[in-house]
Amino acid sequence: MAAPTNPADLAAKASFVFRGTVQQLNAATLPEVGDKSKTAIVRVDETMQAPQALSHYTGQNITVQLAAPIAVGEQAVFYTNAWLFGNDGVAVRSMGHAAPGPETLALHAAGSDPVTNLENRDAQVRFDAAEMVISGTVSSVRTVPEAEPARGPSEHDPDWREATIEISETHKGDSVPKEVVVRFPASHDRMWQRVPKLKPGDTGKFVLHKPSGEAAGFYSLLGLEDFEPESKPGPMHRLVANLEAL
């Protein structure tokens, strides 16, 4: 078994967490795996935290690139991330494993949905990293002339816009302002296409950040999950509701 490692720290870095039993060492389920000196075939006994693409492997054998030695027949909770997908299954890279016990099992309630568990973890990470988390409505959007490049537009210019958001509730950060200015890229270039494009009337939860190294009078919105519409409540809505219920 691996040297003791904090399961909470491992779970914070892993997307795919499962309880499994080692079936075979120095082996793989995928022919695409060349070096098998540190791999094992592991049966997934219980999926605890997973992205959608890895949520259906319970009961199946998968390939695990090990971070530490383990024995055939040993059961452990593996903290992994996706490595290879193939016709014969999937291979993952482990950052560590730990014996099943109160500390590992307490991270995820028995019978809970593994995809929701991962979404909730990621929402908590975003909440902790944000300067402000608010509920509000976009009242206006304007161009930002001072943010335009001095030269002609290049392929990846963000085409900045500023949205004014009327705050209905502050979940993290300064509770004094009634509104806040948020800058976001309006460009649909591949570098920016997944960033929410705010428009007047948009209502929901906003996860806001101050631009690094700037004493700016605005916040930035740069991630897909930084705006969660009220019409499609998800992980941030659940997190805020849980925090307010405490």
User: How confident is the prediction for the chain on average, in pLDDT?
Assistant: 90
**Global pTM value:** 0.82
In whole angstroms, what is the distance from residue 152 CA to residue 240 CA? 43
Tell me, yes or no, if the two domains 7-112 and 130-245 fold the same way.
yes
Query: Higher-confidence residue: 152 or 85?
Result: 85
Q: Does domain 130-245 have CATH number 3.30.365.10?
A: no
Across the range 177-184, mean pLDDT stands at 92
pLDDT band for 237, please (50, 70, 90 cuts).
Answer: very high
Q: What is the pLDDT of residue 3?
A: 44
Tell me, what's the pLDDT at 2?
43
- List pLDDT tens digits, range 28-61: 999 999 999 999 999 999 999 999 999 999 999 9
Q: Please name the residues in contact with 171: beta carbons below 8 A apart, sequence gap of 6 or more.
A: 127, 133, 134, 135, 205, 240, 243, 244
- pLDDT at site 145: 72
Query: pLDDT, tens digit, for every residue of 126-167?
Result: 999 999 999 999 999 999 876 555 444 556 789 999 999 999
**pLDDT at residue 229, as a whole number:** 97
The CATH T-level fold of domain 7-112 is OB fold (Dihydrolipoamide Acetyltransferase, E2P) (2.40.50)
Q: Which pLDDT score is estimated for 5?
A: 67
| Residue ranges per structural domain of the chain | 7-112, 130-245
